[in-house]
Amino acid sequence: MKRIQGVVVIAALFLVFAAAGCGGSSKSSSESEETTSTTIMGSQVESHGTKDVTTASGKVEIELYDNYFEPTILKGKPGQMVELELKNEGKAAHTFTLAEQRVDEEIQPGDETEAKIKFPASGELKFVCKFHQGQGMIGALQSSAAASSSGSTTTSKY
């Protein structure tokens, strides 16, 4: 009888560990949890989702994890202004840095802040965590004009 109880305990423990390994994340999101590889302005990064914000009203949330942005890519209309709600869900300090627009927000673990950004007239703009860019913490703002653009060059006036 004790042998059967021991087998049942071992089987139960195996099932608990197997379920924990399959569960992985407690996030409840309408966006896909699957990561894929993408290229953002010449940098190969893991994509943790794309969000179309062309019809967004109010704030758009970006979560900063240890070493990625979720979503990684935001799609909007050329020239569209958006207020981002930046939440650091990681264990390290991160930044949301969009150099072309002089946005550089540092967010401590568990904190959040806001930043106003503008989608490019065409193409994409890269944003990074300046602390973890080398580990692939890179994202992009893509204007809807980028999908119809056949060229990869962009001109800008300063």
Residue 119 to residues 75, 96, 131: CA-CA distances in angstroms? 8, 15, 23
The CATH number for 120's domain is 2.60.40.420
Quick check: is 55 in a domain? yes
The pLDDT tens digits for 66-106 are 999 999 999 999 999 999 999 999 999 999 999 999 999 99
Quick check: is 9 in a domain? no
Quick check: is 69 in a domain? yes
CA distance 22 to 58: 35
Quick check: is 26 in a domain? no
**Which pTM does this prediction carry?**
0.69
Quick check: is 130 in a domain? yes
The pLDDT tens digits for 7-57 are 455 554 444 444 444 444 433 333 444 568 888 888 888 999 999 999 988
Band of residue 4 on the pLDDT scale cut at 50, 70, 90? low
